[in-house]
């Protein structure tokens, strides 16, 4: 069975996260998005941990369930900030665990190194090597995944505080790193360019700070599992068996794809940056080097290389982003939600719209330009102006007037038979 999973999320106890996030809200919006399984986020935070224990039930499979049967995987993100080789390091790590019993042992270990109650994503002065070693001392079933590995400020390969290799970061614990998370600003082809990642599986997750459908599941991992258990999930992450691919946004959409300096509204591709010697032409200060630049620094293969045994991936932008861009409205505008809910009512979930709904059925339901944008999105044909230095990329698309959408709604529609017609 196919599962679209978002295994890196946050609770309301993490900084800069929606105060409305709770287990029920997450389940509701996962179903709207079409996500079949979620990480719990923030299991180390005492208040969120208690809420998880109140709402999620263990059944021995390692996959926790709500009262309605929706599956969650125990997950958190840890920020490791320390010094190594005379340089400050800041590496974010996603941690998956098979049970509350194991989570309690992780918490017991971390409490010896600092507080857990101030943030859902706590900070510790522990090296990445030591962290992996200590997790394996607790349980071999704990999975450690380097998060958004190219982000400049907080990641394994980050230009500001990262490393040049997995081995440099994890040393003799490198053998226990089985998967890496692409992050919004990179995609699988960018990671295929590094020979050191050839034996590493690629996963994607949203790292969402709110439950809205343009955040939840914007990136995800697709599993095909005969049985939904933590052991099978672990097998997929470690050996690739049952790992069916990923959903990625266009890397240009990410906040750190290109280089730049947002205070001066300066953005450059890596070649331009080299010409300027990484100095902002506006303020003459150093620019933030983006993911594209960093990949070029570390790559030992040419752009366009395809890994022979690569898993498939799908480049998709959230439907809300498409509607907002094409109607030239804010993503929360009433007309955007109206159009989104109309499509949702017809096709069942956002991922059904993005992946599966027949083109002719979409054309029956919405404005022709919106229908075309949805199909272009499915084909990976949409163009995005690259993001940089903390600024999201922007979808470049011809807009339509709100009155055009309203007029389209007035046209008579063919008789609709409902979802059973094609799903």
Neighbours of 161 (CB within 10 A): 17
Query: Do both 223 and 339 map to the same domain?
Result: no
Do 54 and 172 fall within a single domain? yes
Closest Cα to residue 197, out of 178, 216, 218, 215?
178
Torsion 361-366-367-370 (CA) sign: negative
Q: Domain check: are 238 and 98 in the same one?
A: yes
Based on the domain organization, do 223 and 324 belong to the same domain?
no
Whether residue 193 is contained in a domain is answered as: yes
The answer to whether residue 336 is domain-embedded is: yes
With b for 16 or more beta-carbon neighbours within 10 A and e for fewer, the 205-236 pattern comes to bbbbbbbbbbbbbbbbbbbebeebbbebbbeb
Q: At which of 252, 285, 309 does a domain end?
A: 252
- Establish if 207 belongs to a structural domain: yes
Backbone angles phi, psi at 89, to 5 degrees: -115, 140
Q: Answer yes or no: do 215 and 331 share one domain.
A: no
CATH of the domain at 140: 3.20.20.140
Report how far residue 93's alpha carbon sits from residue 290's, in angstroms, rounded to the nearest whole number: 20
State the residue range of the domain holding 207. 2-252
Residues 130, 56 share a domain: yes
- Quick check: is 200 in a domain? yes
Q: How many domains does the chain have?
A: 2
Domain boundary among 201, 223, 252: 252
What is the rounded distance in angstroms from the CA atom of residue 180 to the CA atom of residue 170? 13
Q: Based on the fold, state whether residues 176 and 325 are members of the same structural domain.
A: no
pLDDT in tens, the chain (423 residues): 999 999 999 999 999 999 999 999 999 999 999 999 999 999 999 999 999 999 999 999 999 999 999 999 999 999 999 999 999 999 999 999 999 999 999 999 999 999 999 999 999 999 999 999 999 999 999 999 999 999 999 999 999 999 999 999 999 999 999 999 999 999 999 999 999 999 999 999 999 999 999 999 999 999 999 999 999 999 999 999 999 999 999 999 999 999 999 999 999 999 999 999 999 999 999 999 999 999 999 999 999 999 999 999 999 999 999 999 999 999 999 999 999 999 999 999 999 999 999 999 999 999 999 999 999 999 999 999 999 999 999 999 998 887 677 666 767 666 554 433 322
Choosing from 214, 235, 252, the residue where a domain stops is: 252
Whether 335 maps to a domain, the answer reads yes
> Is residue 390 assigned to a domain?
no
Tracing tokens 């109650």 back to the chain, one arrives at 117
304 in a structural domain: no
């Amino acid at each position: 069975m196919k599962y679209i999973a978002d295994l890196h999320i946050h609770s309301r106890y993490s900084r800069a996260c929606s105060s409305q996030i709770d287990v029920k809200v997450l389940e509701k919006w996962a179903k709207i998005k079409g996500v079949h399984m979620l990480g719990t986020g923030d299991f180390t935070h005492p208040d969120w941990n208690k809420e998880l224990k109140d709402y999620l039930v263990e059944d021995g499979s390692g996959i926790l369930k709500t009262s309605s049967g929706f599956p969650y995987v125990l997950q958190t993100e840890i920020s490791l900030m320390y010094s190594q080789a005379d340089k400050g390091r800041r590496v974010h790590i996603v941690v998956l665990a098979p049970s509350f019993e194991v989570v309690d042992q992780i918490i017991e270990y971390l409490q010896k190194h600092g507080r857990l109650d101030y943030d859902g994503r706590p900070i510790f002065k522990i090296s990445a090597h030591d962290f992996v070693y200590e997790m394996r001392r607790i349980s071999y079933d704990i999975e450690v995944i380097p998060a958004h590995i190219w982000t400049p400020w907080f990641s394994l390969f980050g230009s500001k505080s990262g490393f040049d290799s997995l081995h440099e970061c994890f040393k003799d614990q490198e053998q226990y790193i089985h998967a890496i998370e692409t992050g919004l600003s990179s995609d699988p082809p960018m990671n295929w360019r590094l020979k050191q990642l050839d034996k590493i599986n690629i996963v994607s997750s949203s790292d969402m700070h709110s439950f809205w459908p343009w955040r939840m599941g914007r990136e995800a991992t697709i599993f095909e599992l005969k049985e939904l258990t933590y052991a099978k999930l672990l097998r997929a992450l470690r050996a690739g068996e049952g790992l069916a691919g990923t959903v990625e946004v266009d890397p240009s959409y990410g906040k750190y794809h290109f280089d730049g300096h947002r205070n001066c509204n300066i953005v450059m591709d890596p070649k331009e940056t080299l010409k300027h010697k990484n100095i902002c032409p506006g303020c003459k200060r150093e620019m933030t080097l983006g993911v594209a630049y960093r990949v070029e620094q570390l790559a030992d293969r040419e752009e366009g290389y395809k890994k022979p045994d690569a898993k498939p991936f799908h480049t998709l932008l959230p439907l809300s982003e498409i509607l907002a861009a094409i109607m030239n409205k804010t993503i929360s505008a009433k007309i955007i939600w109206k159009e989104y809910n109309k499509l949702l009512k017809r096709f069942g979930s956002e991922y059904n719209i993005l992946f599966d709904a027949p083109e002719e059925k979409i054309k029956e339901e919405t404005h022709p330009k919106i229908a075309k944008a949805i199909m272009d999105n499915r084909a990976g044909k949409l163009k995005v102006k690259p993001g940089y230095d903390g600024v999201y990329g922007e979808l470049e698309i011809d807009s339509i007037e709100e009155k055009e959408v309203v007029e389209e709604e007035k046209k008579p529609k063919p008789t609709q038979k409902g979802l059973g017609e094609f799903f």
